[in-house]
Amino acid sequence: MIHPEHIGIAVKDLNISIPLFEKLFKTNCYKTETVESENVKTAFFKTGETKIELLQSTTDDGIVAKFIGKKGEGLHHIAFEVENIYDEIKRLKEEGFIFLNERPKKGADNKMICFIHPKTANGILIELCETIK
Ligand code: CMX
């Protein structure tokens, strides 16, 4: 099974965007976490069934900084939770999807994560994630 887990939004400054989304959702950010390997600081919100992850780059040349430089702030990726990330990588590779990392890495919020190139998914960066048990 593969089901939506969160929506990732690239922002320039969490100090501005956290209060903005708190007003929008009428709910507090429940967690912030820095992911050193991705050069991002993240902030999480839960509204209804939907989880939103705000992403701010921690370096001037990080992935999220580069994205904002090119496209501006906005939708960065959509993440899907899977039961077995290795099985899904194998299945989706056989279907022709190109992975940016075939070895899952540790992401935010206690997940193993990997990414499918947006060029092979209609322009959307897709993250697969599996909760670490
Ligand atoms: N969504 C959709 N398209 C994207 C994109 C995104 N998030 N990021 C880049 N692109 C597009 C670019 O606009 C470009 O399109 P064009 O060729 O039409 O101009 C194309 O993808 C390739 O871009 P690039 O500049 O050659 O490559 P980048 O160096 O920008 O890298 C990508 C793009 C997707 C390979 C890189 O961002 C990546 O490896 N991402 C996976 C890891 C990641 O996103 N980590 C941050 C989040 C971590 C977390 O959630 O914890």
Per-residue pLDDT of 61-119, as tens digits, reads: 999 999 999 999 999 999 999 999 999 999 999 999 999 998 999 999 999 999 999 99
Per-residue pLDDT of 29-67, as tens digits, reads: 999 999 999 999 999 999 999 999 999 999 999 999 999
CA of 109 to the centre of ligand 1 (A): 21
Q: Is 41 in the pocket of ligand 1 (CB under 6 A)?
A: no
CA of 31 to the centre of ligand 1 (A): 25
Spatial separation of the C-alpha atoms in residues 113 and 8, rounded to whole Å = 13
Q: Is 56 in the pocket of ligand 1 (CB under 6 A)?
A: no
Spatial separation of the C-alpha atoms in residues 2 and 63, rounded to whole Å = 25
Half-sphere exposure of 70 (CA within 13 A, CB side): 9
What pLDDT, on a 0 to 100 scale, did the predictor assign at position 1? 81
Spatial separation of the C-alpha atoms in residues 83 and 128, rounded to whole Å = 10
Say what the alpha-carbon torsion angle 102, 72, 54, 129 is, to the nearest 10 degrees.
-20
